[in-house]
Amino acid sequence: MNIQPIIKKDGPIVIAGPCSAESEQQVMDTAKALAKQNIDLFRAGIWKPRTRPNSFEGVGTIGLKWLKQVKQETGLKTTTEVAKTMHVFEALKYGVDVLWLGARTTVNPFAVQEVADALKGVDIPVLVKNPINPDLKLWMGAIERIYNAGITRIGVIHRGFSFFGDSNYRNVPRWQIPIDLKSQFPDIQIICDNSHICGRRDTLQAVAQKAFDLNFDGVMTEVHPNPDEAWSDAKQQITPDRFQELMNAIVLRQTSTDSAAFHNSMEHLRSEINELDSELWDLLGRRMAVADRIGTYKRDNNIAILQEHRWQEILGAALGKAGKTGLSEDFITNVYKAIHQESIDRQESVMNAS
């Protein structure tokens, strides 16, 4: 695959604008304020995929006239979400510069293919948001469908994943998934949509910084002149002034250095990590071998695999060590759940071996 940048630039790619276009005034006010900040792309949703009906579903085609006006009056390039053929044709007709596929579209190969078919023979950059669920292959598949339609300028937007349970995030980031995507498509530019990851204003800065620390290529943030009054995603939108403060506070770190001293120290630290990792894997292997023996013993005595009180007991004991080890409770729980699951799988195969 020969994927090209959606925007050629040394510094970070900055995409900002309201969740939804609401009125000519709101669109123009936001764009004029953002044009002063040298952003790369002005975003606004024209058709909004809403989880439940009877929510605001976007202004539709009239909003494309406002985006055209943004371009004419501020010089800013524009981007909007497309989910079906009609959206693609209308957006192209009004000169939208970059298209994006939303999380609810990426999740559906039929919809992605419909957009890809509508794009055949068109040369326009396309950004593919991650699917709602944490499925790397679905994300890759959407990129491939767009690429197979002849689009070469493709980027991705990481907007987090839906989850079950409590979290400080609206959509949990699961950073390893975009990192894995980057190893599958090394040339693809990755943009962090901190707005949909956070779902609130106070954590936007930290998530954007984290993305840059992970070598992401840019951010997409929802900006509204009067966030509390926004017709969609009010809680996560920020004013243009606040957005400027956020971007000014971002620290960009180098991706590499020629310093020999740095490489030397890194080598030492990395070999320490490698040794510890190798011990970790040995230990885990030994632990699983004991799980196999437990599986055999339970099978011979006809006892069920999952012993809920035992699981609560060992998890509790591990969490009790959080203070001493300096590990967070979240981390301990996640690692332990993975170990426990593997242990159950192993016992299951021992029990059901014929």
State the residues that interact with ligand PEP by CB under 6 A.
19, 45, 49, 102-104, 129, 159, 196
CB of 18: closest distance to ligand PEP in angstroms?
Answer: 9
With CB cut-offs between 5 and 8 Å by kind, which of ligand PEP, Mn ion, none does residue 218 bind?
none
With CB cut-offs between 5 and 8 Å by kind, which of ligand PEP, Mn ion, none does residue 87 bind?
none
CB of 345: closest distance to Mn ion in angstroms?
Answer: 38
Q: What angle do CA 269, 261, 249 make, to 5 degrees?
A: 80
When the beta carbons of 22 and 233 are compared against Mn ion, the nearer one is 233
Residue 13 near Mn ion by CB under 5 A: no
Residue 233 near Mn ion by CB under 5 A: yes
When the beta carbons of 5 and 199 are compared against Mn ion, the nearer one is 199
DSSP labels for 58-124? --TTHHHHHHHHHHHHH--EEEEE--SHHHHHHHHHTT-SEEEE-HHHHT-HHHHHHHHHHTTT---
Residue 19 near Mn ion by CB under 5 A: yes
Selected range binding Mn ion among 85-93, 233-241, 242-250, 281-289, rule: CB under 5 A: 233-241
When the beta carbons of 88 and 157 are compared against Mn ion, the nearer one is 157
CB of 233: closest distance to Mn ion in angstroms?
Answer: 4
CB of 316: closest distance to Mn ion in angstroms?
Answer: 39
Residue 193 near Mn ion by CB under 5 A: no
Name which of 94, 45, 96 is nearest 231 in CA terms.
45
CB of 195: closest distance to ligand PEP in angstroms?
Answer: 7
CB of 309: closest distance to ligand PEP in angstroms?
Answer: 40
DSSP labels for 127-181? EEEPPSS--HHHHHHHHHHHHHTT--BEEEEE--B--SS--SSSSB--THHHHHH
When the beta carbons of 182 and 196 are compared against ligand PEP, the nearer one is 196
Rounded CA separation 141/151 (Å):
14
Residue nearest to ligand PEP (CB): 102
From the centroid of its chain, how far is CA 194?
8
Characterize 73-84 residue by residue with b for buried, 16 or more Cβ atoms within 10 angstroms of its Cβ, and e for exposed: ebebbbbbbbbe
When the beta carbons of 145 and 196 are compared against ligand PEP, the nearer one is 196
Rounded CA separation 98/176 (Å):
26
Rounded CA separation 354/352 (Å):
6
Residue 81 near Mn ion by CB under 5 A: no
Asked whether the beta carbons of 191 and 212 are under 8 A apart, the reply is: no
Residue 46 near Mn ion by CB under 5 A: no
CB of 273: closest distance to Mn ion in angstroms?
Answer: 39
With CB cut-offs between 5 and 8 Å by kind, which of ligand PEP, Mn ion, none does residue 102 bind?
ligand PEP
Count of CA atoms in the C-beta half-sphere (13 A) of 345: 6
Rounded CA separation 337/318 (Å):
11
Asked whether the beta carbons of 160 and 207 are under 8 A apart, the reply is: no
When the beta carbons of 40 and 233 are compared against Mn ion, the nearer one is 233
Residues that bind Mn ion (CB under 5 A): 19, 233
